[in-house]
Amino acid sequence: MLRGVLIVGSLAIALLALALVLPGGSGHGPAQAALAAHVAGVAPEDQAYPRQGEVLRQRAWLIAAPGQDDGVDLFAALPDAVFRRERVIVPADLRTALARIRGLAWDGATQAWSGNGRTVPLAEVRRLLEAALPTPTDATVVLDLLLGRPAPGVPALAGLLLAEPPTLQAIHLVPFHGDAGQLLLDRGRPPYGTAERGYDGMLASFTGVGWPPGWRVIRLRALEQ
């Protein structure tokens, strides 16, 4: 009897773990749909070079961010995406770091926020975020929101994040990765080339007054071969 219970329990745990990582796993329906929409085909009038790439990049939350100066990497298909467990960032996680830079202005030349006789280096803010958040990647996402350039139609996310009193209730993140993405290669002339490439990325959604609805890609990069 005990052996049977242990076998059934082990099977249940295994199935739960599988559901968390399979592309069809439960709990990621809206995020999965958003990723599918991100790589969906563009309208016929947008298929020419370089317009296709511009349209694909504008589907993300940001069209530029630290480490992604030209926006997310261009993929036309992500057929084997594996989704990980959703992570949630709440205002309490960000309080210390954001309090250090609220009211200051970003200076890209010095890589610091400055004003009112104070200077707060980017490295310090990153350390505070990494100490408060589950993973360094989550800290990178928050810095992207603070320093990135929103896509057309997306409000100023840095301003929302730094609002006082805070309007944010939560940032929801779903990491994903795969091995067989169809990467579009920009050779500086038409048409785009293609190559199969591994990839990883992050989907994000927000809850809070004034925050934009829905899920979108916040990070997506091709892996080095």
Classify residue 15: in a domain, yes or no: no
Classify residue 3: in a domain, yes or no: no
Q: How does residue 27 score in pLDDT terms, banded at 50, 70 and 90?
A: low
* Pairwise CA distance, residues 194 & 52, whole Å: 13
Classify residue 64: in a domain, yes or no: yes
Classify residue 11: in a domain, yes or no: no
Classify residue 84: in a domain, yes or no: yes
**Least trusted range by pLDDT, from 2-16, 38-52, 67-81, 89-103:** 2-16
Classify residue 207: in a domain, yes or no: yes
Q: How far is CA 180 from CA 50, 57, 58, in A?
A: 23, 19, 23
Classify residue 17: in a domain, yes or no: no
Residue 151 belongs to what domain range?
A: 29-222
Classify residue 119: in a domain, yes or no: yes
Decide: pTM greater than 0.75: yes
Total count of domains within the chain = 1
